[in-house]
Structure formats: structure tokens, C-alpha cells
Structure 1
Amino acid sequence: MPVVPDLASLPYARYLQPWEAGELDRGEDYTEIHFDDVEFDGANAGGARFAESAMTVVTFTGGNFDRARLDDVWIARSRWIGGSWAESDLIDVQILDGVLAGVQAYSSKWRRVTIHGCKIDSLNLRGARLQDVEFRDCDLSEVDFGDATLAGVTFPGSAIRRARFGKATVKKLDLRGARELEIAEGWDALRGALITSVQLAESAAAMAHTLGVVVRDR
């Protein structure tokens, strides 16, 4: 999915209405809304739906967004700190120049999602389903893909540090574009994934350890 660089380029930009100060509510429908320069602390918006909307300079701290749905949402320069997005559904979403730290997004579903230029730390994606997802020019640390299903997932220009893939299911996972690749767990789950010869050489010791191979020169 091509990255839309600015708000004005969105096909629904002219329909956006500014968000009026207030709290987010459970199960509400937020369509064609521009959230700009706003903070949500401990919001309780489980099951809410955000569609054809934009978020700029928004901070989400904690809160419950379980089973929320983001459909055709453009997000820029925003921060997601903690909070639960378990079983949420992201479709045609772009997240640009943001921060995701300590977010619990286990069992979520991501389809046609682009994350560009973001810092991602301790993101819990256990049991998630990611299809056609691109992490471009991101820094990923301690991301947990355990038990997740990854189909058509790529990491061009991204640094992957201490990622966990234990018991993941891989379909067209392409790691070749990653500028750093450090996998803390789950090499044995990456059957069919694509890596470069340089990445293979740099990761050989970790792969051998996972497979129980003893490397001894003498």
C-alpha cells in the first residue's frame, strides 16, 4: 500500500470534521473525523470503530480499545503508550513517524497496514494475524510475534532487535530488507521465510543454538 505523505492527499480529506474535545466511548462510530493535537488518557473505547479518519499528534496512554476497528485510517506523529488493543481489527491503516510502546495487541488482525518511520518497543502481537503488512524504516525492539500468522509481511529499512517468533506461522515473510536482524526466539518457526546470505552469516550462531547444534572448532 503506497504511503500517503500528508493529510491533504487523503481521498476523504475534504470530508473530515475536527474532533470536539471529549472522551472516547465504547462501541461508538467515529467516521470522517480528524483527531488533532489531543491526548487520551485511560480511554475506555472497546469495540469503537474509526473509519476514513485521520489522527495527527495524538497520544493514547493506557486505556481499553479491545475489539476496536480501524478502517482506512491515516495516523501521523502520534504516540501509543501501553493500553490494550487485544482482538482489534486494522484494515488499510497507515501509521507514520510515531511511537508504539508496551501496547497489548494480541489476537489482533492487521490487513494492508503500513507502519513507516516508527519506534516500536515491546509490542505484543501474540496470536495476531498480519496480512500484507509493511514495517518500513522502523526500529523494532522486543516485539512478540509468538503464535502469530504472518503472510506477506516485510521490513524494508527496519532494525529488528530481540524479536520473538516462537510457534509463529509464516507465509511469505520477507526479512531481506531489514538493516538489522536479531531474533531472540523462534528461528525454528521461520521455515519458508526469506533472508539474505549476510543475515544468515550474522545469525548462524543463534540459529545453531535453536537447533541444538554444537559449534566447536576443535
Structure 2
Amino acid sequence: MTKKKTMKIETPILPADLPIQPKPDLAVQDFVEMGVIQDCVFDERDVDRVTFEKVIFRNVTFADTSWSRMELTDIIFEKCDLSNADWTDAVIHRTEFRDCKMIGMQLTGATIRNVLIDNALADYASLRVSNTKQLVIQDSSLSRADFCFAKLQKTELTRCNIDRAQFSGTPLGGMDLSDCEFNGLSVNVEDLKGCIISREQAYVFAALFGLVVNE
């Protein structure tokens, strides 16, 4: 199998000497910038339009937060827990999620540009009706994730577990899934036109659509 070329994306633009700063109180502060926030828990719920710029989060828990229409620019998340966080309609640009737990995370309707998700546990995560461009997800588990009706422009899934993921209504033309792992997907046959798969995966799709391969 020919090795896939990794798509180049813009990385977060961050100063080399960002100071450590305490966890902000989002009840009174809706704009946070220029710092490293670490080893803490955000438990604020129902926050609207909070903005983070040029921030590194290390070992921070965001689980079960509900922050709609938030904006992230030049951000790095390292070893963070975002399980079941609801960040519906977020705008995310030049951001990296590294070694994060993202089970059930909701990015429904999000606008995503130049984002890397690396080594994430993101089963049941939702990018339904999201609009992505320059998104790379690699070495991650996306079992039963929801990509339905998303607009995936220049989106790359590499060495990911996408078993039972949902792609109904999402065109996959040009997307290379050949090194991803799955035993089944929820997808419309017309959306597979131009999708790149391996020979072994072809048998999975044949079974999915009720075809019998005569060897």
C-alpha cells in the first residue's frame, strides 16, 4: 500500500515564553489570552461566546461543559479531558488536541480550520453538520462518531478506528480511508464516490451493501 502523504496545516502561533496563569472565572471573564492553564477543572455550564486566544491547556478537565458559540484561535490542548463537552457551533482555528479524551464531545455545527487531533479517544464524538477545512485526525479512536451531513473539505483521517461511525449525507470523495480500521460504517452509497479504500475494505463495503464477491 502506498503510504499516505500527511496534509500540511497551519500550526498554532504561540510565543515561546507563555506565563502560567490561574484558571479564569468565566462568569466574569469571556476573553482569555496569552497563558498556560494547567491541572484544573472547568465546571462552568451554559457559557456563551467565550473566546480563548494563544493559550496552552495542560491536564485540564472540561468534561460536561456546555459552551456554545465559543472561539478558539492558536490553542493547544495536551492530555485534557473533554468528554461529553458540548461546544456546539464553536469556531476553532489553528488548534491542536494532543493525547486528549474526547468521548461524546459535541462539535455539532462547528467551523473548524487548521486543526490537528492526535492520539485522541473520541468514540461517540459528534461533528454533525460541521464545516471543516484543513482538519487532520490521526492515530485516534472515533468508533461510532457522528459526521452526518458534515462538509469535510481537505479533511484527513489517518490510522483511525472509525468502526460504526456515521457519515450519512456527507460526501467522502477524495478522502483516503485506506489505513483506517472499521468493520462497518453508516454511509450512503452515493456519498462514497471517489473515496479511497484498501482492497480489504472493499469486502467490508460489499457486505455492507449486500453484495456477494465471487472469488
What's 1:185 paired with?
186
2:141 equivalent to 1:111: no
Partner of 2:70: 68
Distance 1:86 1:47 in 2: 11
Task: Give the TM-score normalised by the residue count of structure 1.
Answer: 0.85
Higher helix share: 1
Secondary structure of 1:205 counterpart: helix
For the Cα contact (< 8 Å) 2:169–2:188, is it kept in 1?
Answer: no
Q: Distance in 2 between matches of 1:97 and 1:195?
A: 26
**Which residue does the alignment assign to 2:16?**
13
Alignment correspondent of 1:199 = 201
State the partner residue of 2:45: 43
Say how many residue pairs are matched.
Answer: 206
Cα distance in structure 2, aligned partners of 1:176 and 1:104: 26
Name the CA distance, whole Å, in 2 between partners of 1:54 and 1:184: 35
Deviation at 1:150, TM superposition (A): 0.7
SS in 2 for 1:61: coil
1:125 to 121, 124, 127: 127
Structure 1 residues 68 and 91, CA gap change in structure 2 (3 angstroms): same
- Structure 2 residue 168 is matched with structure 1 residue 166: yes
1:88 CA drift (Å)? 0.3
Residue 24 of structure 1 contacts residue 43 of structure 1 at CA under 8 Å; is this kept in 2?
no
Could you report, residue by residue, the CA deviation over 1:181-203 in whole angstroms, capped at 9, with x for unpaired residues? 24431142222222122221233
- Give, in whole Å, the separation in 2 of the partners of 1:64 and 1:32: 23
Name the SS for the 1:140 alignment partner: coil
Runs of 4+ that moved beyond 6 A? none
Stretch moving more, 166-175 or 83-92: 166-175
Amino acid at match of 2:139: D
Q: Secondary structure at the match of 2:68?
A: coil
Q: Deviation at 1:122?
A: 1.0
Distance 1:168 1:68 in 2: 24
Q: Aligned-pair distance for 1:161?
A: 1.3
After superposition, residues 93-108 of structure 1 pair within 5 angstroms as 93-108=95-110
Identity %: 21
SS at match of 1:160: coil
Note the 1:135-154 alignment, pairs <5 A. 135-154=137-156
Q: In the aligned structure 2, how far is the partner of 1:136 from the partner of 1:164?
A: 18
CA distance in 1, matches of 2:164, 2:16: 38
Distance 2:153 2:29 in 1: 29
For the 8 Å contact 2:145–2:166, the answer to whether it is kept is yes
Q: Report the Cα distance in structure 1 between the residues aligned to 2:107 and 2:29, rounded to whole angstroms.
A: 18
Q: Give the 3-state SS of the residue equivalent to 1:135 in structure 2.
A: strand
**What is the CA RMSD across the aligned residues, in angstroms?**
2.4
State how far apart, in whole Å, the 1-side matches of 2:9 and 2:40 are. 27
